[in-house]
Amino acid sequence: MLRTLAVENYRSLAHLVVPLEQLTVVTGANGSGKSNLYRALRLLAGIVRDGALTALAAEGGLRSALFADDRPRRDAVAMRFGFAADELSYAIDLGMPQPGVSPFPQDPEVKTEVVWTGETRRPSTIAADRKSLRVRLRGASGTLETAPWRVRETESMLATLADPDSAPELFALRERARGWRFYDALRTDVDAPARRPGPATFTPVLSGDGANLPGALATVLRVGQAARLQNAVGDAFDGAEAVVEDDDRGIARVGLRQPGVHRSFEAAELSDGTLRFLLLATALLSPRPPGLLVLNEPEASLHPSLLPALAALIVDAAEHSQIVVVSHAEGLVRGLRADAGVIELVKPGIATSVVGVLPFEGPAWTWPGRG
């Protein structure tokens, strides 16, 4: 389980260190930095999973995403991300390439990386570290030894990892992060893939855009928590039930059957809010729960009356997954507050901070040095 998230110099997050619970709610007014925290967590996950910094490049490069203030910079440019966890923790320090050296001067370079066991980083807990192009791994003798492979300036050391036997901690960290799920782009527009029929095959994980809803919903109904899903749908929509009807070719149509109506309403007929609720319920009731599930503004297009049912689903799912919910919907936050750690963000100037927490308060955290 992730215990602490740390971000420095990323957009409005000049210095933010926050605790993470089994269920964490991040809230605050529009413009307070909620989306930046979500993007930072997703970017960090992408670095750990894939090793490349393409996600940051897509944001316009390091300079575009760098926290900006009016103070002159006397120190080297640094953007840092990290987390502390029960088993394996991680931190990365990004900077600009040397002038005139790189053909892509806006691409960030990795200056320092560290992976350590447990929450607290000490010399004895470091499993691997990297400074510039040199990587060291904890060897059989118990000392940190220079790895036989080298890394590129613009890639994490996790990207170069090829042999899990030589660096089992790096391999375990990367594989764990590959199981994390982020939902912020579930489509419900008129052309959304979830509105179309699809194969009724075993589908334990809903895709990020919800395109495989027919298979994923069929999986929950046939081999998963069907009763829990139908109870949630019934509570939300006056006794209705979700249905998946497949033809003799195995192509399924998602629908909603309401009491007293002789036919089900297909996904193409459902309102955006109804379809979104079905998508979220399917994601939260996955028969293969992820280690970490992050929902960004799940209340979008939902009527306030649906938020208590969604909150109940989230609380139930938190029994099997660590969940982070980013939301400004008062009804959803209220429904989760009793079971969650709540982080309320505010941006009184240009930097995001946590309500009730003074600068540099919060969980203990120190960044690895570059020297």
Q: What is the pLDDT of residues 195-207, one digit of tens each?
A: 999 999 999 999 9
Are 65 and 120 members of one domain? yes
Are 206 and 116 members of one domain? no
Residue 159: pLDDT above 70? yes
Amino acid type, 148: P
Are 136 and 198 members of one domain? no
Judge whether 305 and 335 are in contact, CB under 8 Å. Answer: no
Residue 229: pLDDT above 80? yes
Are 135 and 259 members of one domain? no
Residue 157: pLDDT above 80? yes
pLDDT confidence band for 7 (50 / 70 / 90): very high
Task: In whole angstroms, give the CA distance from residue 85 to residue 44.
Answer: 14
Residue 71: pLDDT above 60? no
Are 8 and 153 members of one domain? yes
197 within a domain of the structure (yes/no)? yes
pLDDT of residue 241: 97
pLDDT of residue 72: 52
Judge whether 260 and 268 are in contact, CB under 8 Å. Answer: no
Residue 56: pLDDT above 90? no
Task: In whole angstroms, give the CA distance from residue 122 to residue 108.
Answer: 27
Task: In whole angstroms, give the CA distance from residue 50 to residue 256.
Answer: 38
9 within a domain of the structure (yes/no)? yes
Number of domains into which the chain is organized: 2
47 C-beta neighbours (distance < 10 Å), count = 25
Task: In whole angstroms, give the CA distance from residue 60 to residue 64.
Answer: 5
pLDDT tens digit sequence for 317-350:
999 999 999 999 999 999 999 999 999 999 999 9
Tell me the average pLDDT of the chain: 92
Q: Is the dihedral of CA 302, 305, 309, 312 positive or negative?
A: positive
Are 164 and 198 members of one domain? no
pLDDT tens digit sequence for 174-220:
999 999 999 999 999 999 999 999 999 999 999 999 999 999 999 99
* Boundary (domain end) residue, out of 148, 180, 212: 180
328 within a domain of the structure (yes/no)? no
Residue 263: pLDDT above 80? yes
CA neighbor of 336 nearest in space, from 320, 317, 349, 350:
317
301 within a domain of the structure (yes/no)? no
pLDDT of residue 162: 62
Domain span including residue 60: 2-20+52-180
Q: Which long-range contacts (CB under 8 A, 24 or more apart) does 113-117 make?
A: 113/156, 113/157, 113/368, 114/90, 114/368, 115/88, 115/89, 115/90, 115/169, 115/170, 115/173, 116/88, 116/89, 117/87, 117/88, 117/89, 117/169
What percentage of the chain reaches a pLDDT higher than 70? Answer: 96
pLDDT of residue 74: 57
334 within a domain of the structure (yes/no)? no
* Boundary (domain end) residue, out of 136, 153, 180: 180
What lies within 8 Å, CB to CB, of 91 at 6+ separation is 6, 80, 81, 82, 83, 112, 113, 114, 121, 367, 368
Are 211 and 80 members of one domain? no
339 C-beta neighbours (distance < 10 Å), count = 17
pLDDT confidence band for 137 (50 / 70 / 90): very high
56 within a domain of the structure (yes/no)? yes
Residue 101: pLDDT above 70? no
What percentage of the chain reaches a pLDDT higher than 90? Answer: 76
Are 8 and 140 members of one domain? yes
Of 16-30, 151-165, 253-267, give the range with the top mean pLDDT.
16-30
* Boundary (domain end) residue, out of 163, 180, 197: 180
113 within a domain of the structure (yes/no)? yes
Residue 173: pLDDT above 80? yes
Are 191 and 155 members of one domain? no
335 within a domain of the structure (yes/no)? no
Least confident of 88-102, 135-149, 229-243, 258-272: 88-102
Residue 308: pLDDT above 70? yes
Q: What is the DSSP letter of 288?
A: S
- How do 322-326 and 23-28 pair as beta strands? parallel
Are 173 and 205 members of one domain? no
CA torsion angle for 318, 90, 205, 53 (degrees, to 10)? 140
Least confident of 91-105, 179-193, 200-214, 247-261: 91-105
Least confident of 78-82, 150-154, 273-277: 150-154
Residue 73: pLDDT above 90? no
Are 73 and 222 members of one domain? no
CA torsion angle for 97, 98, 100, 102 (degrees, to 10)? -30
Are 66 and 154 members of one domain? yes
pLDDT confidence band for 57 (50 / 70 / 90): confident
